[in-house]
Amino acid sequence: MTRRYFGTDGIRGRANRSPMTAEIAMKVGQAAGAHFLRGDHKHRVVIGKDTRLSGYMMESALVSGFTSVGMDVILLGPMPTPGVAMLTTSMRADIGVMISASHNAFADNGIKLFGPDGYKLSDEDEAAIEAALDAPPRLVDSEHIGRARRVEDARGRYIHAAKMTFPADLRLDGMKIVVDCANGAAYQVAPSVLWELGADLIAVGVTPNGTNINDGVGSTSPEALCARVVAEGAHIGIALDGDADRLIVADEKGRLVDGDQLMALIGSSWTARGTLQGGAVVATVMSNLGLERYFERIGIGLHRSKVGDRYVLDMMRTTGCNVGGEQSGHLILTDYATTGDGLIAALQILAALVTSGASASELLHLFDPYPQLLKNVRFAGGAPLEAEGVKAAIAKGEARLGSGGRLVIRKSGTEPLIRVMAEGEDDALVGEVVDSICDAVAKAA
């Protein structure tokens, strides 16, 4: 079924334009609230947000929607997405909402929804809510309108929960860490956690003004982090994205470490201590072939899901795995969280560094990545992947790569883009295959 509002990670778009208007946000609150009015208890929703200017507008509209259908609202203020998921269960809420467009620029915003179990909603729940957006709202009588209150210690609750995931017998004393919070939702909590654990901290991206989220900082702009790590002589650099569900690391030499290498370390270290479940790690079709080969060598399986952390989590729950993630830095550790958590993943990396005594450059490059290239082709409608010329180019590319490579072509779930990725042992061949398929898609589009 074609969706009008929900994409791969909630609803997202440019603020003050459909679907990211106050009117639609209010309808989402009404539809989602009515959908989760189950049982005769007093119903409540928790709402967190990142630091975007439009967050105030979207928050107020959602409050109006939820209270109008009889739900009480608990406002958390700026809070990482995983913190919202955690507090949804902790506060016995029926639904959790995160107002964020993650790594996008400030002009965008989004709405992510969590069920009472702290997990992102199923496709069926999202479809039901979307269908209700066009129906008359189920407004309650005046005496049953919900109330709203702000919880002042929400950040402290998340800080405590995050610290509890770090081994109690370890400290970060003597470790110099650069942490980049993207001027986003973790600008207070991430530095607090690391400082309280003893780190010598250099914090950047911690002065949000409503319009500078992800602007030259954070996991999608890590160049400044790498330079700062080298300039400060730091042991490691940590970069989060706007809502702090994503992590990218820089070693002490200023070299970037992506989600694949982080999964390699966590998977191998958890295996060594006997806590890896399911005998495997879940990654997506975009993760590097080098990660798969590394896991094969050390006896760990690799399951591949569709792109999107919700699909990673679905496969983790199906296969019984407790470690999963994406190359982009979404890392899900279900021993500690119900969704990707950049800060908690960073604490696992730091624990491994402290325990081993090795440098970041020694510990965080466990395999040599295969040459991999990803390009995007924008299109203005239609179905370019169904064109015969595109199908022929894909078939030819697969034949050229052979058994030593992979080809992944998919439509973006959040933008009008066709993503073309190839990897193999020959860098030049990978480039030629990607370019030929992109050319074919561009012609069809």
Q: Of 41, 40, 57, whose CA–CA distance to 49 is shortest?
A: 57
Cis preceding linkage at 19, omega within 30: yes
372-444 to CATH, choices 3.90.1640.30, 3.30.310.50, 2.40.30.30, 3.30.450.20: 3.30.310.50
Tokens representing 95? 């639904």
Q: Are 271 and 314 contacting, i.e. CB atoms less than 8 angstroms apart? A: no
pLDDT digits (tens, 9 = 90+) for 221-235: 999 999 999 999 999
d(CA 337, CA 162): 9
CATH superfamily of 258-344+355-363: Alpha-D-Glucose-1,6-Bisphosphate, subunit A, domain 3 (3.40.120.10)
6-152 to CATH, choices 2.40.70.10, 3.40.120.10, 3.40.50.2000, 3.30.950.10: 3.40.120.10
Q: Give the phi and the psi of residue 189 in degrees, each rounded to 5.
A: -75, -40
> Beta strand pairing status for 301-305 and 323-325?
unpaired
d(CA 438, CA 335): 40
**Alpha helices, DSSP H only, in 217-335?**
223-232, 259-272, 289-298, 309-319
- Output the tens digit of pLDDT for each of the chain's 445 residues: 567 899 878 999 999 999 999 999 999 999 999 999 988 899 999 999 999 999 999 999 999 999 999 999 999 999 999 999 999 999 999 999 999 999 999 999 999 999 999 999 998 999 999 999 999 999 999 999 999 999 999 999 999 999 999 999 999 999 999 999 999 999 999 999 999 999 999 999 999 999 999 999 999 999 999 999 999 999 999 999 999 999 999 999 999 999 999 999 999 999 999 999 999 999 999 999 999 999 999 999 999 999 889 899 999 999 999 999 999 999 999 999 999 999 999 999 999 999 999 999 999 999 999 999 999 999 887 889 999 999 999 999 999 998 889 999 988 876 789 999 999 989 999 999 999 999 999 988 8
d(CA 224, CA 397): 36
Instruction: Indicate the class that CATH gives domain 173-256.
Output: alpha beta
Domain range summary for the chain, segments of one domain joined by +: 6-152, 173-256, 258-344+355-363, 372-444
Contacts of 229 (CB under 8 A, 6+ apart): 178, 236, 237, 250, 251, 252, 254
d(CA 288, CA 48): 34
Q: What is the pTM of this model?
A: 0.91
For residue 167, the tally of other CB atoms under 10 A from its CB is 11
Known catalytic residues?
Answer: 102
pLDDT digits (tens, 9 = 90+) for 315-339: 999 999 999 999 999 999 999 999 9
